[in-house]
Structure 1
Amino acid sequence: RLLPKAVTEFHNAYSGVEIRIVEGSHAELIEPLRDGELDLLVGALREPGPGEDVQQKLLFEDHPVVIGRYDHPLRGQHNDLETLASYPWTIAAPGTPLRMRWEQMFQAAGIGCPDVPIECGSVITIRQILLESDFLTLLSPDQVAVELEADWLSTIGGPPEGLHRTIGVTTRSGWMPTGMQQDFMQILEKAAIS
């Protein structure tokens, strides 16, 4: 919800300005950012940072939850990690912040990570997989808020203790934003706290 909210508010203030949103993995987008093809990245920040030529700024802490379809067999139950590990999972590729947190969630409990028959970083694709199967995933509730409100998907487990990821903005070091870009950054920061 963060980026659409900020982009809509920015567009209302600067209706004549074209906005281009490019989706992709961090690995796909970091070089275009470094080359100046993109102004900024919004998403999970990397630890450690991706290099001295870029800088990261925190917007908020995200607390992902376990998500499944609305009529998933585990819905409404108190589910421990061993039970969750007995179901198939779809989650982002190794090395991404969400995948690392997911692995840590099981490792901290002394449980081997479940199989991930489908690696996927696309929320739209994950949503469809969940709707048509017993798969589970770990996502921010904001990423599937509409699906949760429509009772298509359900929270199967709350945020595991201590599990969070940092969402923020990545820019080139020394980036000198224009006045409009500064306004967008302020709108984005305001949207992150509302």
Structure 2
Amino acid sequence: MSENMVHRLQPKHFSLIRSIAELGQLSLAAQALALTQPAASRMLGEIERYVGTAVFNRTPKGMEPTPVGLALARRAQNLLEEIHEAAREVDAIRRGMTGTVRVGAVTGAAVGYVVPAIQSLKDEAPGADVHVDVAPSLKLVHDLIAGHLDFVLGRVPASMDPRQFRVDNAFTEDVDIVVHQTHPLVNVDNVHLSHMTHFPWVMQAPGSPLRLAVESVFIEQGTPIPANIVNTTSLLVMIAMLASSNAIAPMSREVADLLCRQTRTAGLCTLKVDVEMTVMPYHLISFSSKRMTPIAIRLRELLLKEFELRNRNKG
């Protein structure tokens, strides 16, 4: 194999080699690359002249790569992926899709909206430096004011004037009741609040939106609020207590879905409660006077796109 081959083979040649190796037919490879079969045949002949040996053997079953063909096909995969990544990186730089974006979110919003939006952003701009803070709304908004975050998904604290912010969309947050799969109430249909009162609970501190939503339902139903409560903002602490006891934890539906249906390692599940619990909506909060970077603007757009998609699916 001549060293000049390195300078003669082009990306289009490697694309054809990879396609033939994957599809086993010259006609199918040509179709996949939007080439006519004669053009693909001429290109293959060109490749074999450059290489100085056969790259594929023609058999009744199709085209099988020679040892040289196997080596080239293996290299083609890596080479074409590198070229693709280089093109994406250049395009990202050209469009300003580089740099750092910092977003804050309450837990349910982080799981339900921020994570999918970041995944979409990374498809467009893999080199983007993304930072996510998960905390109660009060801390998030303070960090936004201090300039530590580009925008947040949370609630404007009652002590602050909402006119200083740009507040977009109302994101609803439903509550599920999460327990370990060995909990005595797991197989009970239409669990009433009174069934849960005497179990230990683990939830956010008094005054937090999710805690208020749960307590208001107990009050509306005329059921005593649970007395045995551990207060924590740590999801890990909640999971640990659920896994090791008969504790009950209210969580946003997005978090409950992640823990109980998407990942089952902790052995958690939701109870079939006979009443709906809904937290006051949260919003996408930013400063209308602050100019965001292109990468922050794009992440914000993707969050709103995810929101619109969820709303259409609900409809």
Counterparts in 2 of 1:124 and 1:159: CA distance versus 1, 3 Å: farther
The equivalent position to 2:281 in structure 1, one of 162, 166, 172, is 166
Shift of 1:28: 2.4
**Could you tell me whether the CA contact under 8 Å between 1:65 and 1:140 is conserved in 2?**
yes
Alignment partners' CA distance in 1, 2:274 and 2:297: 33
Q: Does 1:189 align with 2:301?
A: no
Query: SS at 1:64's partner residue?
Result: strand
- 2:203 maps to which residue? 91
Q: Structure 1 pair 48/90, CA: closer, same or farther in 2 (3 Å)?
A: same
Looking at structure 1, the residues matched to 120 and 174 of structure 2 have their Cα atoms a distance apart, in angstroms, of 25
Q: CA deviation at 1:132?
A: 0.9
Contact in 1 for aligned 2:128/2:295 (Cα 8 Å):
no
Matched, 1:141 2:256: no
Equivalent positions of 1:19-58 (< 5 A) are: 19-43=130-154, 45-46=155-156, 48=158, 50-51=160-161, 52-58=163-169
Distance change in 2, residues 1:55/1:76 (3 Å): farther
The one-letter amino acid of 2:131's match is R
* Bigger relative contact order, structure 1 or 2 (CA pairs below 8 A, ≥6 apart): 1
Partner of 2:121: 10
Q: TM-score, normalised by structure 1?
A: 0.87
Give, in angstroms, the shift of residue 47 of structure 1: 7.0
Q: Which residue of 2 aligns with 1:81?
A: 193
Q: Equivalent residue for 1:156?
A: 271
User: What amino acid maps onto 2:251 in structure 1?
Assistant: L
CA contact (8 A) 2:179 2:247 kept: yes
Q: 2:295 aligns to what?
A: 180
Instruction: Tell me how large the CA RMSD over aligned residues is.
Output: 2.3
User: Are the aligned partners of 2:137 and 2:156 in contact in 1 as well (CA < 8 Å)?
Assistant: no
Seen in structure 2, the aligned counterparts of structure 1 residues 73 and 142 have a Cα distance that, compared at 3 Å, is: same
Q: Deviations over 1:160-179 (max 9, x none)?
A: 33634424322234333333
The structure with more radius of gyration: 2
Q: Which amino acid aligns with 2:226?
A: P
- Contact 1:72–1:134 (Cα < 8 Å) also in 2: yes
Asked if 2 retains the 8 angstrom alpha-carbon contact of 1:34 and 1:53, the reply is no
Q: Give deviations 1:85-133, integer Å, cap 9, x for gaps.
A: 1211111111211011011010101122112431012222211211111
Structure 1 segments unaligned to the other structure (5+ residues)? none
Count of residue pairs brought into register by the alignment: 193
CA distance in structure 2 between the partners assigned to 1:6 and 1:49 by the alignment = 30
Letter in structure 1 aligned against 2:289: G
> So what's the TM-score if we normalise by structure 2?
0.56
Corresponding residue SS for 1:19: strand
What CA distance in whole angstroms lies between the structure 1 residues aligned with 2:277 and 2:136?
25
Query: Which digits, 9 at most, give the CA deviation of each residue in 1:142-171, with x for residues without a partner?
Result: 213243122711111347336344243222
Which structure dedicates a bigger proportion of its chain to helix?
2
Superposed displacement of residue 70, structure 1 = 1.0
Q: Give percent identity, aligned residues only.
A: 19
CA distance in 2, matches of 1:113, 1:155: 20
Aligned to 2:234: 122
Deviates more, 1:143-152 or 1:61-70: 143-152
Residue 173 of structure 2 corresponds to residue 62 of structure 1: yes
Once the two structures are TM-superposed, the CA of residue 189 in structure 1 deviates from its matched residue by 1.6
